[in-house]
Chain A
Amino acid sequence: MKVTADKVNSSLVKEVEEISGQKVSACFQCGKCTGGCPVVSSMDIFPHLVLRFAQLGLLEELLHSKTLWICASCQTCDSRCPRDVDIPKVIEALRLLLLRRKGGNRLHPANLSDRVRADAPQQGLVSAFRKYAK
């Protein structure tokens, strides 16, 4: 992993900012988002580092990260963020960059577990397909 001027100036970062409506430069890396994230232990890039990577244009790393698919959009982080950055929106934008690519879907009806098939509420299924497929 290396920071270069080209990466920092990457147009992808601007795209993320456009889709999310958030300014990644606003983050000052206090880590309050990460400390409070209920699913952080399953993430490979912590929420505050998502912002840091985006600030430095390390988009490739972000687009390969598990974190994008772990975030539950519970919005605990942005409700506490002292810089008013809506981190789930940034993660959503990164997710959309991938989902909008051809074959980008992450969840297929065939892959649902038996339990989910049998018992899951519609709310959960609709949410999951909104998040993991286009």
Chain B
Amino acid sequence: MRRTGVFICWCGSNIAATVDIDLAVAAAKKMPGVVFADQNKYTCSEIGQEMIREAIRTHRLERVVVAACSPRMHENTFRKTVAAAGLNPYFLEIANIREQCSWVHKDKETATDKAIALIRTAVAKAARNEALFASELPIERRALVIGGGIAGIQAALDIAENGFVVDLVEKEPSIGGRMAQLDKTFPTLDCSACILTPKMVEVAQSEKITIFSYAEVEKVEGYVGNFTVTVRSRARSVDMGKCTGCGDCMLKCPVKVDSEFDLGLIKRRAIYTPFPQAVPNKPAIDRENCRWFTAGKCRVCEKVCPAGAIDYSQEDELRTEKYGAIVVATGFDPKKLDNYGEYAYGKHPDVLTSLEFERLLNASGPTGGKILRPSNGRPPKNVAFIQCVGSRDKAKGNPYCAKVCCMYTAKHAILLCEKVPGARPFVFYIDVRTPGKDYEEFYNRAYEEFGATYIKGNVSKVFPDGEKLLVRSVDALSGALVELEVDMVVLANSVDARAGAKELAQKLSITTNAYNFFNEAHPKLRPVETHTAGIFLAGTCQGPKDIPETVAQASAAAVKVAALLGKDSLLSNPTVAEVNEKLCTGDMSCLAVCPYGAISEKMLEERRGRETVRRKVAEVNMALCQGCGACTVACRPGAINLKGFTNEQIMAEVEAICL
């Protein structure tokens, strides 16, 4: 038996009013192994803590039980107390006789009985506590940011600002992301490019940040402080060192394909930058469409390039680097409208998605910023804006609200009125949602100042009728049927997780929700962390968000990264799983239930008589293990155990609690 000391706290009258402390102390003294028991009015006070330290010394205590408030309150406090007296901090156990006893029971006799049982249970567990030691893990002082939209840009800048080196990986030939596609931003109507491009340039000029554009994450291994990541840079066919970004090649290239950046509203060349303010402002050859790569002739770009930068022989480049932390900022995709044939998208050229409409608004867009009907090049008069297309639709879209559509639709209505005199916006909505600073006021202006007509009714179908479009709906407020002839329909399509988000989540060992948005570690209190330590989230890859929220989360993620990288080393949580190799049969049931990939196979070489035999056993990576204990239950031979919550400890608790 371990020499155990029991310290019972009054917590003023919080405990003492319901639990007979004297009786409890007397009972504790008779418990197995207990050599000392006493009481204190406030054990967490300096006097109370000193009493524990003093008793450890004078009574040579080996284990300490504090019967007081919840371990969630003061477990750490008392661990430090016993450590100060030279004991391993994990020799402490807490009996929760306040939250789970004195505060929830009224009858003093039964409450005292229960308090004694809880103390007995803690004593029984403490007797089986073992010394645990947190180990120190080194940290690689370099961060990886995946995704070069506004979230990734902000995170990279803020991490660099804290003095750490950042690699920024972007799938497209330029950073900028979705924000670069926008015209104006709500609720201030300042131009998106005007506030974004300076940040893009800042990234390019930062000595701490390296941009890997036209690149994607291929493989992720390791754990917090020590990730090993392989990045594939796609062959650009342009020598970045030689290219001056003059753009001659893009003018002469004979191949025209739909511009992804302009959503197919205009064409780009096979050698291209997505948009004029691209960073890096150096083109890439899209090999799927380039005539040289598809037909074996052309080489016009090579001929016109004054710098000799065209290099058709380039190959994809794989680069492996170590990182201490990762920020995931991969953004969103606008919802595809395959399920919404009723809106005639793709059937009539004047039915547009909101991002397409955004490009029409943009001065560098396909119409030079004029709102013109794609069908006839004339400005529209009546425009129907349909909200919640694919949002709040559990039957054939996303059940969630896409959060930004109410605001950008109000913006579109306002800009339509500003740009096309006499034009009239009709906004069809289910509910208008505008929580946010100055948001409601912005929406108010749309109908009050600009005369947008808001109709509470989901449009059921758009009927193309020659040049016109007939929109059929109901105004649920007046109960009137709506049949509206318009010149243009703009669909506020929902926010989807980025295609490929699921695969990236698997590479990173992070989780997604049912709609492939990455999961935060806690919806309220840990909104930028993931369940995998060292991996953080920023922006819409975690769920629909507007720009201010995205930037705020990106900065928050950057702070988390800086806090992590600023440490000398990491202390590991010592309550992790441990394999008894003698008992392990190597059937690896544990591996299947481990959510962290912390268990791997290991080959043992053993002498059996004269032979050397090789035998498979499980091995726990202490840095990855989070201590959930799922493996311990899955293990048939009982070879794997969880330190701090061992089978023996819990069994001892069960026995003691049932006495």
Contact = CB atoms under 8 A, between A and B. Distances in A.
Touch between chains A and B, by CB atoms below 8 Å: yes
Interface of A: 28-37, 40-41, 46, 48-49, 76, 80-84
Contacts of A41: 481
Interface stretch (B30-38, B249-257, B301-309, B469-477): B469-477
Contacts of A31: 456-458, 460, 473-476
A46 B394 contact: no
A30 B397 contact: no
A76 to B, nearest CB: 8
B514 interface: no
B296 interface: no
A37 B397 CA distance: 21
Contacts of B614: none
23 contacts: A28-B430, A29-B430, A29-B476, A30-B392, A30-B458, A31-B457, A31-B460, A31-B476, A32-B457, A32-B460, A33-B460, A34-B476, A35-B459, A35-B482, A36-B460, A36-B472, A48-B476, A49-B479, A80-B342, A80-B395, A80-B460, A82-B392, A83-B394
Contacts of B461: 35-36, 80
Contacts of B481: 34-35, 40-41, 46
B421 to A, nearest CB: 30
Interface of B: 342, 388, 392-397, 430-431, 456-461, 472-476, 479, 481-482
Interface centre among A29, A30, A46 (most CB of B within 10 A): A30
A34 B395 contact: no
Contact of A46 (B458, B472, B474): B474
A29 B459 CA distance: 12
B342 A30 contact: no
Nearest to B472: A35
Given A28-B431, A82-B397, 18 more contacts: A29-B430, A30-B388, A31-B460, A31-B473, A32-B473, A34-B473, A35-B459, A35-B472, A35-B473, A35-B481, A35-B482, A36-B461, A76-B460, A80-B342, A80-B395, A82-B396, A83-B395, A84-B395
B97 to A, nearest CB: 45
A28 B457 CA distance: 11
Q: What are the 10 closest A-B residue pairs judged by CB atoms, nearest first?
A: A36-B460, A35-B460, A82-B393, A30-B458, A32-B458, A35-B473, A31-B457, A34-B474, A31-B474, A84-B395
Task: Tell which of A34, A83, A84 has the most Cβ of chain B within 10 Å.
Answer: A34
A82 B479 contact: no
A83 B392 CA distance: 8
B610 to A, nearest CB: 71
Contacts of A81: 395
A57 B14 CA distance: 50
Contacts of B459: 32, 35
A76 B461 CA distance: 10
A120 to B, nearest CB: 29
Nearest to B392: A82
Given A80-B460, A82-B395, A46 B342 contact: no
Given A34-B481, A36-B472, A48-B476, A82 B394 contact: yes
B91 to A, nearest CB: 56
Contacts of A40: 474, 481
B457 to A, nearest CB: 4
Nearest to A45: B479
B479 A30 contact: no
Contacts of B342: 36, 80
Contacts of A76: 460
Nearest to A76: B460
Contacts of A46: 474, 479, 481
A82 B474 contact: no
Contact of B474 (A48, A80, A83): A48
Nearest to B394: A84
Contacts of A82: 388, 392-397, 458
